[in-house]
Structure 1
C-alpha cells in the first residue's frame, strides 16, 4: 500500500511588512494573528484528512464500529463549534492535538495492511479513541450538554486541558467510561465503581475525588490572553518527539512542590519579558498555549540552570514549549523568548518557504556539537538573535550589577554565535525571496546590536568561546 500524500495546504502570501517584522524576531498583532490563523486552518485540514483516511482504510485496520464512532465524535465536535466557536477552536488548536492527529494519520496511511497485528492494532484503536475525548472536551468548553462513552488507555482517561480520570486499569488495557455533562456538572462513571463528579471551569476542572487528576493551569499572561496549562497528563505530549535519543523524557506527574515552583516563576515572568521589549510578552500571550514539563537532563544538578536545563518545541505542536523546570523566573523568561522564535519561524516557513537547501547536516553551529542542516542553522540563528536582543535590553535596564553582568555575558555569547553563522545563511543561493528578506532583516538587527556593545571583557570571552567551539567541532567532525 502506498502512503497517502500529505494534505494540500493553501499558501497565502505573507505581506512584506509582516515578513520584515518577523525577520527582526518581532511581530505585531497582525503578524501573530496571521500565524495563528494559518495554523488553525491547517489543524482543521489535518483532522479532516484523518477522518477521510479512516473512512478509506480497510476494515482490518479501521473496523466499521471504529469508523462509526469517529463519525459520532465528529458530530459532537461540530455541535460544540456551533454552540461556542471560540471554545471549540481552543480545543482544536491546543498544541498537543497536533502530534496525536499526525500519529493517527501516519498509522492509517503509512504502514502496509499486513503490519496491523496485535499491539499495533491495539495502539491504533487507542489513538483513534482519543478523538472522543477531544470532542467531549470541546463540548464541555462550549457548555453543550451531552452523554456518551469514552475509552481510557493505560489507566487514564485524559480530557485535554481539563484533567484525567484514573481508572485503575492495567497498562495497555482499554476501559470504557460513561460521560455525562449537564447543568455545568461533569460525571464520569465506570462499571461497578462509584461515579466521579467534576466541576469544569475556564481554567481547568476540579473534583474532591482523588481519582480525578487536574491539570495545573497558569493564569493569563495579560488581559484577554488564554490561560496556560502545564500539561503533565496528555498521552501525546512527548510521543514521537525523539526526546529519548537525548536521554530526556516528560515528567510523569508534577508533585506539589514542582507545581508551586512553576506557578511562582510564572507569576513573575511578565515584567521580565517586558524588559526585553513590549513585543516579548505580547508574542508569549499570543503564541504560548501550553507548557510540557520535562525531566531534568541526566546527571544535572537540582538548580535548573545551564546544563541542568533543557527545552524545545515541536513543529507539529504549534504553541507548545517543552521545558524542564527553570530555576528562576528570569531563566523561564529567556526560555520562552528562545523557544517561541522557533514557533514563529516554523509557522512562517509553513506559509512561505524560506529556502530550498537540502537536509544534509554539514554546517557548524556554535550552540551544537553536531553538524546542522541549513534549516536547523537558520532556526538556531533566529532564536539566538532574539536572545541577543533580549539580553542586551535586559542589561541596559538592569539596576543590580550582578544582573547586568549576567545579561551582558549572555548577550555577548549569543551575538557572537549568530555572527559566526550569518555569512553561511546570507551566502546561500537557495534562499527564496521571502528567505532573503528574512535573513537581511536578521543581519540588520545583528548590526544594530553593535550600537550598544557590552563591556570589552565579555566580548573577548564570547569570541574565545565561539573560536573554541569551532575548533572542537572541526576535530570532532573531521572538517
Structure 2
C-alpha cells in the first residue's frame, strides 16, 4: 500500500499535487529507506533477517498506517473530484504525515537526522513516541533533531522540547506540551506491550458506512487509562477460561487498541438485549487494530476481543479467497441487528457470534461461581439461538463459491457440536423466545426475510 501511494503521488497531476509537495514526499520516503536499512541490535550480525524485524518496518506495519494510506489513496484518486483549493490543501496535509512516520521510524532505528515537520491544528504527532502541543494554533513548523536517543523539537516563540526515547512505546519529556504515547502491559507476562493509541490523527472510524453506529475516538486522562488497565489486567484469565486458543489468538493478532468515547445507551428498539452503552469495531485496512469504548470488566473485554478478532480473520480470508458472489443488497434478517444486512455482513455476524457461543459455553463449563456460570450459560444460549436463526440464509444461498460452501458447512458443523453440552432449558427457551420476538419485529418493519429454494 505504501508503494502504491508513492506511485500514485508520482503519477498525480501537478494541479492535484504541486511539485513542492511531491519533492517533500520523496525526501520523506528517502528517510524511510535509510531507516529500513538499520537492523535491530540483536540481528546486526545476520546480513539477511526478515524485513519485518527492522525498526522501520515495525513502525510501518502498525495497523493505523493502513488507515492513513487508504485515506491518501482516496485523495489521489479520481473519485476525490476536481483539484479544488481545499482538496489540494487537505491532500498536502495528509501526505505530510509520511514525514512524521519517517521521523518516528528513523528515531526508532537510532539514526541521527534533522527534519522540518508541520503541526496540524496545533498538534504534532510522532507515532509510537507521543505528541507535542505547539505554542500557537493552526499549522506550526517544528524542526526536529534526533541524536543519541534524544529528539529536540524547536518552534518559533517557544522553548525547545527535549524528548528522551524509551524502549517499546512512548518517549519521555518534562515539557508540559509533550504527551507520551501509552501502552498497556503485554497480555502475557513476557509479552510485548500493547499500544493504546489515543494520539494518532488517522485513528478515527468516522466516515465508514459499516461503523456509523460507533462513537468517535477519544483522548484518555489518567483516570480513563486506569479503567483500561484494570479491565486489561484480568482479560488473559477470562480469555483462557473460554479456551487457551483464545489467548494465543489475541497474542498473535491483536496489535493495537484505539479507545472510543462511550456511546449513548442503545436504542430501546434494538434487538440485542446485551447492549450496555459500549461499542467496538475493526477496519479491514487496519489489520490487528481493535476500536473500542472502555470495557467495564475483564469479562466484557475478553468477549469483545473474541468477537472482533473473528472479523479480523474473516476479512483477511475474504481478501485471499472469494467466498461468495452476493451483492451489497441489505435484505437478510440478523437477530442481533434491527436493520437488514447484506450477505457478507450476515456471514461476518454469524462467524463472530458463533465464536461467542463457543466462548461462553466453555466459560460456563469451567466457571466455579454459580452466578458466573449462569451468566455464561445465558450468553451462550443467546448467541447460539441467534446463529441458528441466521444460518439457513447462509447455507441456502446460491451465491456461495466452492471455498465459501466449505466454510459455511464448517460453521454448521461447529454450531451442531455446541449441542453436545446444551445450556439449561430455561436459558434456551428465553433465548429462542427473544429471537422469535426479534424476527416478528423485523418482519413488521421490513417484510419477510429472504428464503432460498434450498431451505
Question: Would the TM-score normalized by the shorter structure come out above 0.5?
Answer: yes
Counterpart for residue 76 of structure 2: 108
Counterpart for residue 90 of structure 1: 58
Deviation digits for residues 283-329 of structure 1 (CA, Å, limit 9, x no counterpart) = 1111111111111112479xxx8331111111111111111111111
Question: CA contact under 8 A between 1:226 and 1:285: conserved in structure 2?
Answer: no
Q: Is 1:254 the counterpart of 2:209 in the alignment?
A: no
Counterpart for residue 271 of structure 2: none
- Could you tell me how far 1:192 is from its partner in structure 2? 2.5
Q: Report 1 or 2 for greater relative contact order, CA contacts < 8 Å, sequence distance ≥ 6.
A: 1
Deviation digits for residues 10-33 of structure 1 (CA, Å, limit 9, x no counterpart) = xxxxxxxxxxxxxxxxxxxxxxxx
2:3 to 26, 32, 48: 48
Q: Equivalent residue of 1:450, what SS?
A: helix
1:194 to 152, 159, 164: 159
Q: 1:89 to 1:224 in 2, by over 3 A?
A: farther
Q: Equivalent residue of 2:276, what SS?
A: helix
Counterpart for residue 293 of structure 1: 259
User: Normalising by the residue count of structure 2, what TM-score does the alignment of the two structures yield?
Assistant: 0.90
Superposed, 1:65-76 pairs within 5 Å as 65-76=20-31
Q: Equivalent residue of 2:131, what SS?
A: strand
1:81 to 30, 36, 58: 36
Counterpart for residue 14 of structure 1: none
Counterpart for residue 237 of structure 1: 203
Deviation digits for residues 426-468 of structure 1 (CA, Å, limit 9, x no counterpart) = 1122212221221111111111111011111000000001111
Distance in structure 2 (CA, Å) of the matches to 1:279 and 1:137: 34
Unaligned runs of 5+ residues in structure 2 are 40-50, 268-273, 449-455
Q: How many residues align?
A: 427
Q: Equivalent residue of 1:96, what SS?
A: helix
Deviation digits for residues 172-191 of structure 1 (CA, Å, limit 9, x no counterpart) = x3221111111111111112
- Could you tell me how far 1:339 is from its partner in structure 2? 0.6
Counterpart for residue 62 of structure 1: 17
- Could you tell me how far 1:241 is from its partner in structure 2? 3.4
Distance in structure 2 (CA, Å) of the matches to 1:375 and 1:346: 10
Q: 1:138 to 1:112 in 2, by over 3 A?
A: closer
Q: Equivalent residue of 1:322, what SS?
A: strand
Question: CA contact under 8 A between 1:216 and 1:229: conserved in structure 2?
Answer: yes
Distance in structure 2 (CA, Å) of the matches to 1:300 and 1:157: 36
Q: Is 1:446 the counterpart of 2:412 in the alignment?
A: no
Q: 1:431 to 1:244 in 2, by over 3 A?
A: closer
Superposed, 1:165-314 pairs within 5 Å as 165-170=132-137, 173-201=138-166, 202-222=168-188, 225-238=191-204, 239-242=206-209, 245-246=212-213, 248-251=215-218, 253-299=219-265, 306-314=275-283
Q: 1:145 to 1:93 in 2, by over 3 A?
A: same
- Could you tell me how far 1:142 is from its partner in structure 2? 1.8
Larger deviation: 90-99 or 117-126?
Answer: 117-126
Distance in structure 2 (CA, Å) of the matches to 1:324 and 1:478: 34
Deviation digits for residues 64-83 of structure 1 (CA, Å, limit 9, x no counterpart) = 11111111111111121110
Question: CA contact under 8 A between 1:408 and 1:458: conserved in structure 2?
Answer: yes
Q: 1:317 to 1:112 in 2, by over 3 A?
A: closer
Q: Is 1:332 the counterpart of 2:301 in the alignment?
A: yes
Distance in structure 2 (CA, Å) of the matches to 1:282 and 1:242: 31
Distance in structure 2 (CA, Å) of the matches to 1:240 and 1:375: 20
Distance in structure 2 (CA, Å) of the matches to 1:379 and 1:231: 26
Question: CA contact under 8 A between 1:355 and 1:432: conserved in structure 2?
Answer: yes
Distance in structure 1 (CA, Å) of the matches to 2:190 and 2:68: 28
Distance in structure 2 (CA, Å) of the matches to 1:59 and 1:414: 54
Question: CA contact under 8 A between 1:243 and 1:249: conserved in structure 2?
Answer: no
Superposed, 1:91-170 pairs within 5 Å as 91-111=59-79, 115-170=82-137
Counterpart for residue 382 of structure 1: 351
Question: CA contact under 8 A between 2:161 and 2:175: conserved in structure 1?
Answer: yes
Distance in structure 2 (CA, Å) of the matches to 1:406 and 1:361: 33
Q: Equivalent residue of 1:358, what SS?
A: coil
Question: CA contact under 8 A between 2:152 and 2:160: conserved in structure 1?
Answer: yes
Q: Equivalent residue of 1:55, what SS?
A: helix
Please report the RMSD computed on the Cα atoms of aligned residues, expressed in angstroms: 1.8
Distance in structure 2 (CA, Å) of the matches to 1:247 and 1:142: 36
Counterpart for residue 28 of structure 1: none
Deviation digits for residues 10-63 of structure 1 (CA, Å, limit 9, x no counterpart) = xxxxxxxxxxxxxxxxxxxxxxxxxxxxxxxxxxxx111111111111112111
- Could you tell me how far 1:156 is from its partner in structure 2? 1.0
